[in-house]
Structures are given as C-alpha cells and as structure tokens.
Structure 1
Amino acid sequence: MSQKYSKARIIFVATLVVMISLFHYVTYYFQIYSHVFYRELYFVPLILAAFWFGFRGAVITSLSISTLYLPGMLMGWQCFSLDFDKVIEILLFNIVAMVFGFISDRERAKEKALKEVESLAAIGKAISGVAHDLKTPLVAIGGLTRLVQRRLKSDDSSREKLDIVIRETQRLETMVKEMLDFSRPLKLNQAPGDLNKLLNETLALVEDVAKCREVKIETKLQDLPQFFFDPMRMKQVFINLITNAIQVSPEDGTVTVRTYREGARIIFDVVDHGSGVPPDIKEKIFIPFFTTKKEGTGLGLSIALKIVQAHGGHLEIKENHKKGAIFRVVLPFRLKR
C-alpha cells in the first residue's frame, strides 16, 4: 500500500469517528434511539481500521472511540441499571477491534507466506533450468582443462593460467550445485545420530578456511543424546554457517561454536565477533540471491534455512552483546522419524 493511499484511509477512518462522535454530542440525550443508532455506526470505522491496518490500527481506533464516547456517556448518565448497556458497548468496541484485528493480521500473514511460496517456486524452476544448462559444459571445461594440464611440462608457464581456469570452474560448479540444491524438493534421510560428532567432522573441513583468515574456532559442546536428523543435510548447514562466521570475523578473531539442549529442543549456535547484522539486512538475509559479499550466489543461508525448516526447526539471528552476531539453529529432539 502506498503512503499516500494509507494516509487517505487514516483520514477517512478518523473523520468517521469524529463525525459520529459529533452526532452524539449535538443530539439530546433523551433521544435514545438516535444514540443507539450512532453507537452502532462506530462499528463501521472500527471494522475498516481492522481490515486496513490490522490489530494495531483496530485497537487504536477502538481506544479513540472509547475516549470520545465516554464523556458524552457520563454527561447523559442516569443510573447504572439503565445505562449499563453503554458500558457493555464500550467493552464490545475493544473486543471487536482485537478479534477483527487479529483475524486481519493472520490473513495477511497467510497471504504473504503464499506469495513467498509462489515466488520461490517460480525462482526455483528458473534456477533449475539454468543450472542444468550450465552443469554439462562446466564439467567438460574442467575435465578438458585438467587433461591438457597433465600433458604440459612442470615448468610450462601455461600451467598457472590453467590453474586459474580450474579454480574458476570449480567455483562455478559450486554455484551450480547450490542452485540445484535450492531448486530441488528437499528429501531428508533421517537416522539417529550424534550431532557433536558430525560437528567435529565439519570443523575439520573448514579448518583450512579458518587458518587462511587467521581465525580461531572455539567449541563449547554439551553432551547430547542421539536423535533423528539428516547428517548430510545438517553438515551442509554447519559448513554454511561456520564459513560465513569465519569470513566476517576480523584477523585473530574467534568464532565460537556451541551445542546444548533445552527441554525438547537441540540448539546449535555459531557466534562471531564481526560487524554484526544491521536491522535492514536482517530482514533480507534469508532471501534467495541476497548477499553482501562480492563472491557467492546468496543461496547459502536460504538453503540452510530450507534444511532446518524441513527438520521442523528454525534458524534465527541474535545479537552478540559483545560484538557480532549469533546464528542459532533450533531442532526438535526426536527419538523417531
């Protein structure tokens, strides 16, 4: 909704509330049926505010109506038994506002989620086609380049140029793999496993990346019982999150990896001491292809979120009180599929 359109709606609702209140005050208090009619008219701006502005807008409107109507009600007050319906009406304004506002917000959330699903499905279909078209020629380029390189002498100056071709081809192959991972329907192969053991295997894989950036990885792993999860997929999540944390950390910085259990939840945290995640970036960070890096597809966190949600968990970003950010994976503790 445009800002101009939204302002027009606010003015319209406010004008209705003020006009109905004026009718109350200029009508003699003994004209009971007129006052009853005006009270019923209050529901018009109330319901409009609920559907246009949601819960917050509806509550603000109901409180405004109550504030404007209350003095007039007290001026014409006769006795509790005769005017009790007016008190009930004020309560009803606020109850209706909360109910309709809640329904409006819920329907908006459903509509937004549906649009996101449709958008992601369209993106996934387009990505899948592009990725499949790229995959075959990249494999051919990489294979032929390695074949030519093996036939060159060790001191041939062309070997360095071919090394660049191979590295770039591998980078593109990785990007294509991420595209395919994002576009394909996610099928989990869950089995009872040790999350800490899987995490230690992952840390061995990212050790070279940490050394290159002179970043230390600190682990705080609580003893966890075995539970059902897909080890291959969760390893992918760990690699994405830990690699991201290493990349945003300063030299000689520390990335802390910790696991613990809270009731029926298994929690995995990756804590970095980088520059943190600004609020405007936090809203977009899980959107496919959104990235603040010069390299990469912007699909790493989207894929991680997709995997975690497929496990029935959620992935969230917390502020690190010292400096940086905390990426938290919360998984349900399941002893069976």
Structure 2
Amino acid sequence: MMVGTVPLLQAGYLLREQLFYFMAVIALLAVFNGMTQGIWSKTSSAKEQSLLFVQLLVDLLAVTGLLFVSGSAANPFIFILTLHAFLGGMLLRTKRSYVFAAVILGLLAILQTETNKDLAVTINVNRSEMYFQFLFQWVVVIGAWFVAHLFSGLLEKQEERIRSLQNRQHRADRLKSLGALAAGFSHEMATPLNSLKLRLDRGVRKLGDPVAAHSEIQQAQMSLDECISIFQKMAGVFTSSATDGELQKLNIHSVLKDIVHSWEIDNKVTLHKEWTASQVYCRLQPLSFAQAVLDLLDNAKEASPTASEISLRVFENDQEVVIEIVDAGSGVSPEIIERLGEPFNTNKQNGNGLGVYSAMMTAQSMGGEFSLSNNTSGKGATARLSIPYEESV
C-alpha cells in the first residue's frame, strides 16, 4: 500500500488531504506487526494460532480501511485481499480459517457496496462490466483461500506422516541399539565374571595357604568391582534422561564454564580454552549434558600423553553451539569411527565404550549431533558436540 501511494494519488483514488492519515495507518500497522513479531518468540505453541489470527485480522481491517478511503473496490490494490485470503487459508487451522475467510468476504462486500454507491451518480457507467469485476474479485479471493486451505491440509497430513515415520525409525533405532547393547553387555560381563568364578575357585582350594588365598580373593574383588562399574555405567546411560526430567533453557556458556572448572580442579589439568562468553541459550538436560562433557574430557585425558595439551573450543555455527574437545593422542582407528555410537565400541584396554555412546544419546535427546574424527594434523582426535540454540541476548 505504501508503494502504491504515488500511483493512487496520480490516478485520483487517494486525495492529498488524506495522505497524512493514509501514511499514519501504514506506520501504525508496521509498528503493530513489529511488536507482535517480538511476542512470537515468547508465545507457547498452544497460543500461536490465536496470536496469528489476531495479527492477520488487524492487518486485514487496516488494509480494508485504507482501501475504503481510496476507491474501495475500484482501487487496483483491492487484490491485496487475495493475499490475506491466501495467508489465512495457509496459516490458520480449524474454525479460525473459515471465520477469517468469512470476514474477508464480508469486508469485500462492504467495499463493493461503497463502490456501487459512488458509481450510481456517475454518468455512462457500464453496470455489466462493473458487476463482472465484482464477481471476478469474489472468485479470485475465494479461490486463493480454497487453494491455500487445501494445500495447507495436505502439508499437515504429510507432516503427520513424516512424524509417524520418524517415530517408527526412532523405535527401530532404539531396538537396534538395545540389541547391540545387550550383545556388548554379555561380551563385557563374560570376562570379569569368568575371572571372578576362577579366582573364587582357586581361593577355596588354597584356604590352607592364607597368603595365596588372600591374593586370590583380592583378584576376585577386583573382578567384582569391574562388574559393578559396568552395571553402574549402563544404569547411568539409561536413566540419565529420566532423572533430568524435561529440557531446561539455560545459558550454555555458563553451564559449560562450571563443568570445565570442576573437571580441571579434580584432574589438576588446565585446558587450552577458545571461546567467548556470550548469552546463548539452549534446551539442555543439565545432568546428562554435564556427564557427557565430563566423559569426553576424561577420554581426551586418557588418550593424551602426560603433560600434553588438551583443547576445548566453543563457537556458534548455523544456529548451533559447537563444542569441540581436541586431544593429543594417537587418533581413533577407522573401525571405531565406522561403528561410532555403538555401545562397548572401544579400543582402550580398560574402556567400555559407554562414554561415547552416552554422549551421542545425550546430543540426540537435545536435538543435536555428536561426531568423532581424527585431526587433519595426523595427531590426536576431535570429539564434536553440536546443540541448537534458541536466541542470543
């Protein structure tokens, strides 16, 4: 409407004395749209449709008012109502879409009635051509709404189908992961349990020799501790999301700073950190996120030679916060990378592979991704955790 101000003045649809009020309405409409756009980010999904309906309705009423004072249905910009009909049919759902369509048609009828009154006193007016234009306007507006409403319904059904397929795939992945976890668990538990049984049997046979029996019992206790450690690690993987509850909107830099500081104190290691503290908020499960970062830092420390530098890089990339932990070890074998994310997938002598598995599950639960790759320098590996962020303040 603002772009068409000059042509409307030249064609006589808009009078110069109306120009101030015309531009004032456009300015107020722009302010209103800007304010409602700011409210969008703070509105729950349940109220989005109501806010959208009000926003479109205010736009429609303001534009109709501008058309009313600048030629009504004879104004060439009357087809801006078609745009509103299309948006209403596309964006609004259920009864709101039908109500909005009825409001548009009602306002169109008012504009056409006003135009008809103005032309009633005009000489040599072709009534048939005027009525044909009115009919054409109705057809275009109704057609735009109907096509958009139909297309929106098809998109909604397609989205439901995609969500259904994603849920099925997610369940299939969980079953596959559970099978791999069960197989790996059986394999991991077999060695310490066999060792525990063997040590106990030998300890019983050597009861006559207290020293030898004590040594065997100590070895049996170590095997038992290893079994307990595996059980606890598995319990942590499966219960972390349940104990965390819902995702919480937190400043990821603040949370990460506390986690890293605590790890540095406990391990007496100072990381080489590259990040700028900023107000970036992510939806996190605090406990599982902290555990994933701590596990990755522990892995980096174990993989790196003593006194070598471990780097931590945090940066923003394409609406995501990326956390990279770089070690100075010998890298990761292609077999490990190929089976990345499988439980008990490790080449460490005393490792169980559940740390990387837990990190991947944690990243996916927060809508992010996890990857592990060897550094291009040929020395060490990089664990990369990316999490989508919502806003920067």
Larger radius of gyration: 2
TM-score normalized by the length of structure 2: 0.42
TM-score normalized by the length of structure 1: 0.49
